[in-house]
Structures are given as C-alpha cells and as structure tokens.
Amino acid sequence: NEILQLHLTDIKQEGGIHYYDLTEGAGKRFKTASSQRRIPIHHKIIEAGFLEFIAMRKAKRSSKDQLFLEVKPDTYGSYGKATSDSFTELLKHLGIKHEKNSFHSFRHTFQDGCRNSGVPLEVMKALQGHSDAGVSSDYGSGVSLEVLNKELQKVSYGGLTFN
C-alpha cells in the first residue's frame, strides 16, 4: 500500500541519495507514525531503469501525479488488497502458489536479505517502518538517510538477476 500510493513528487534526491519519501499527502494513508519515512532506493532498482521510468512518467504527466497510474485504490482508499489478490492470481497462473507465498512474502524476503547481509536490526526496522519499543526510541531523530542508504545497498539475494 505504501509504495503504490506514491506520487511522482515522492521520488526525491538528497546528498546524491535517491529515495522514496513516504509522508502524508492527498490520498495517502499510513498505519502508524513510524510508517512515514524516507527509504533509499536500492542501486539495483536504479540500474534496472527506475529513474528513467520516473522521467518518462513526468514527461507524460497527466493531471494525476500518482506514480503507478495502473493501480487503483479500493472503495476504502487502499491499494494493497487488490494488488495482493492480483499477485496471488499470478502465482496460481504460474503454478507456483503455495500456502507460504503471497505478496506479503516480499517483506519476509527483505528481512532475510537484511539479516543475511549484516544490516543492523535498528536499520532494518527503520527501513520497514517498524518502531522500536522502549523509552530509547523516543530520543533522537532516528536513523539518518545516509546510514539507511549505506546499509540498504548491502542487501543482496544470491542468484537474483535483473536481466
């Protein structure tokens, strides 16, 4: 839901770091305050042509600023359920659907990728929009964009290619 509700203006750059700016705006909904955050864009996504995609979308911009025009919210303003249902149908069509894979599996795979790449738990939680429990989480302004980027760029998945 978070990524699908992004607008073109939510793809930003600061200090040479491209990132998704998940903050409040028209038509956006977040589960918790920690869901609002900045997420660096992994270099493999950039190498796959994401910034060119953004430039193309900006050049062909209609009155809508939504990043993914093809995805429509449901009657409650949520993008997640319809996308999850479509993904489940795709898995079934490909003959690879089983009880332990779903659209939510991407989160689990990301967590495994972070763990296996040595990303600290605090950074992994910040990237996912999960809050730390306890009093110490109330102090400071959180993990910096630079640290998030440094750690995110470490994440890799053996054997995965973007060809």
DSSP for 15-78?
A: TTEEEEEE---TT---SSGGG-EEEEPPHHHHHTTHHHHHHHHHHT--S--BS-TT----TTS-
Confidence of residue 62 (pLDDT cuts 50, 70, 90): low
Sheet containing 17-22: order of strands: 11-14, 17-22, 37-40
Given CA atoms 7, 10, 12, 18 in this order, what sign does their dihedral have? Answer: negative
User: Which of residues 139 and 103 earns the better pLDDT score?
Assistant: 103
Q: pLDDT tens digits for 8-55? A: 888 999 999 999 988 776 666 655 555 668 899 999 999 999 999 999
pTM of the model: 0.81
Average pLDDT over residues 83-101: 89
